[in-house]
A and B are shown apart, each in its own frame.
Chain A
């Protein structure tokens, strides 16, 4: 490993190839504005001129980013200087570095570049740490190695490279779980939104497009029920295909490895590749989650609960993906391997009893009944047609099913030094948080929870979603759990 000598604290630049990438990125980011200028300008006849000027400005701005951004790595810290008018110097002490993230999107990859993001342990919603966009792929890999493994293994010299063990790698047949991830819904929704808006902006009447009109004419001749069925079927197929594509794009070549120096590595991605490193001493637990559809086909996924990872979106909100949707048994195995203990994921959980079950039913069905009552009242006043309350009434059995499933999911335990909580139906999560990761307790009791002797026990933590909830547990059980997980903290406040 060629460590950077303490003396060489010269400021370095990003890869010169970024002179090509920055302008393209900026153009892509600015295209709605540029397009808007073209349309806005057509009225005055100068649209093309304005958009040309704007394009030049955007390209120059992109080029300037290369000239204004420099970075250096000293033995103590990583520094980045950037900005033209507002000069910024970002400094991250190296002992505060908790994650190093290497990503490369298509443009980066075609030029042999990679982006390096350094994550610090802050609660990380405002500060996005240090980003180096982008370096030569080799340089990025070296930096990644250097920053991560110097931190966790200061003694390990250049003599031996730490050993990597593979914990999980993607098998092609996992793609069958792709359609059940529903990520396609979002994609299809976004595309539909964009198309709809562009049509509106350009004042195109969909009815005037020949193909669409032929389609609409056909719908006019067939009965409504058939139309609805056809539309739903087409939508389902499109969503399933989009979800599968999304799965392949995100998780192609997925590999989870453990480095003996004390880190976990995740590499994945088809077009945009990502390499994420998690320090094991920052790992506070694992979330084992089973969304309803995935559960129906025997799949599950794992997410790391760790401090210092930027809080992402969607499935990654709780932290970094440790395993994409995969067979349940495989997910259990990987979760156990990551924590070096499978018991928290397989051990039996204590249920929350009949009062918690009653609460789930009264909440799910009660909410629907309120809607039914409101619809009935409005129907009585002649404001809405009768089908509204009838439709609301049809929902009741589904609400009951949901409540039953949710009640069945509730469970908690303290297993081998971890607090385990399970809840949810649409997304069932079993969160395993190591007791050392708990930095406080919140005991929430709503008016109705107090009446039924229940409480929601929240273990707060600096990692992942910042909390693990044990929902609707009998108060006495909640206190026992808290006392067992962190002995002594509650003792002075307990009586009887």
Chain B
């Protein structure tokens, strides 16, 4: 018995978005290190070593993570269930029956707008179980939300 991954990939533009976000994070770390070095005066050797380490780790993360993540992030919706897969180094698959869905939200941050992306979050009554689909193309996200809200509107129980 094997659990196959969900059918659909997210948008290819997500790779660019994840790269940009990771890059931003690492640049912030570098900035802190530089400020520290300039204010410290001494210990130049340690500071340079730290910067090189950050550079190597950062480059590896920025190159590997988005591509890896793109291969992992997948989603699928059937008439019975929502099924997602996310993560990269650590991965997680989540499955929730349509009948237990409580809310369907979509949201877009400023950078996601820039890339034409959107996130869809499907929540159930459990705080442990929101299904997040990150990095969908905007129109695909809208279609998905429409489809899910149609499916859940017919169900009137309180889904706990």
Q: Across the interface, do A460 and B128 meet the contact criterion of CB distance under 8 Å?
A: yes
Min CB–CB distance B90 → chain A (angstroms): 4
The number of inter-chain residue pairs (CB within 8 angstroms) is 106
0/1 interface trace, chain B 122-158, chain A, CB 8 Å (1 if under): 0011111101000000000000000000000000001
B95's partner among A462, A475, A489 (CB-CB below 8 A) is A489
Q: A490 in the interface, Cβ–Cβ < 8 Å?
A: yes
0/1 interface trace, chain A 441-472, chain B, CB 8 Å (1 if under): 11111110010000000101111011100000
0/1 interface trace, chain A 58-99, chain B, CB 8 Å (1 if under): 000000000000000000000000000000000000000000
Q: Across the interface, do B92 and A440 meet the contact criterion of CB distance under 8 Å?
A: no
Q: B159 in the interface, Cβ–Cβ < 8 Å?
A: yes
Assess A494 versus B125: contact at CB under 8 Å? Given A439-B160, A489-B97: no
A203 to B97, CA, bound (A): 62
0/1 interface trace, chain A 467-496, chain B, CB 8 Å (1 if under): 100000001100110010010111011111
Chain A residue contacts of B76, Cβ below 8 A = 493
Q: Across the interface, do B160 and A496 meet the contact criterion of CB distance under 8 Å?
A: no
Q: Closest residue to A463 on the B side, CB-wise?
A: B160
What is A's interface to B at a CB cutoff of 8 Å?
Answer: 121, 123, 125, 307, 439-447, 450, 458, 460-463, 465-467, 475-476, 479-480, 483, 486, 488-490, 492-496
9 smallest CB-CB distances across A and B, nearest first, come from A460-B129, A462-B125, A440-B96, A460-B126, A467-B128, A462-B160, A439-B100, A466-B128, A446-B90
Q: Across the interface, do B129 and A442 meet the contact criterion of CB distance under 8 Å?
A: yes
Chain B residue contacts of A462, Cβ below 8 A = 124-126, 160
Q: Across the interface, do A445 and B125 meet the contact criterion of CB distance under 8 Å?
A: no
Q: Across the interface, do B3 and A439 meet the contact criterion of CB distance under 8 Å?
A: no
Chain A residue contacts of B91, Cβ below 8 A = 444-446, 450
What is B's interface to A at a CB cutoff of 8 Å?
Answer: 1-4, 6, 76, 78, 80-81, 83, 89-97, 100, 124-129, 131, 158-160
Given contacts A443-B94, A489-B80, A492-B81, 16 further A-B contacts (CB under 8 A): A121-B160, A441-B94, A441-B95, A442-B92, A442-B94, A443-B93, A444-B91, A446-B89, A447-B89, A462-B124, A466-B128, A467-B128, A486-B97, A489-B95, A492-B80, A495-B2
Which applies to chain A's interface (DSSP): helix, strand, loop or mixed?
Answer: mixed
A476 to B83, CA, bound (A): 18
A495 to B1, CA, bound (A): 6
Chain B residue contacts of A495, Cβ below 8 A = 2, 4
A77 to B84, CA, bound (A): 39
Min CB–CB distance B4 → chain A (angstroms): 5
Q: Across the interface, do B93 and A494 meet the contact criterion of CB distance under 8 Å?
A: no
Assess A439 versus B1: contact at CB under 8 Å? Given A447-B90, A492-B78: no
Q: List, sorted by A's number, 27 A–B pairs whose CB atoms are closer than 8 Å.
A: A123-B127, A125-B127, A439-B159, A439-B160, A440-B95, A441-B96, A443-B92, A444-B92, A445-B91, A446-B90, A446-B91, A450-B91, A460-B96, A460-B129, A462-B125, A465-B128, A466-B127, A467-B128, A467-B129, A479-B3, A490-B95, A492-B78, A493-B4, A493-B83, A494-B1, A494-B2, A495-B2
A476 to B2, CA, bound (A): 7
A440's partner among B89, B90, B129 (CB-CB below 8 A) is B129
Q: Closest residue to A461 on the B side, CB-wise?
A: B126
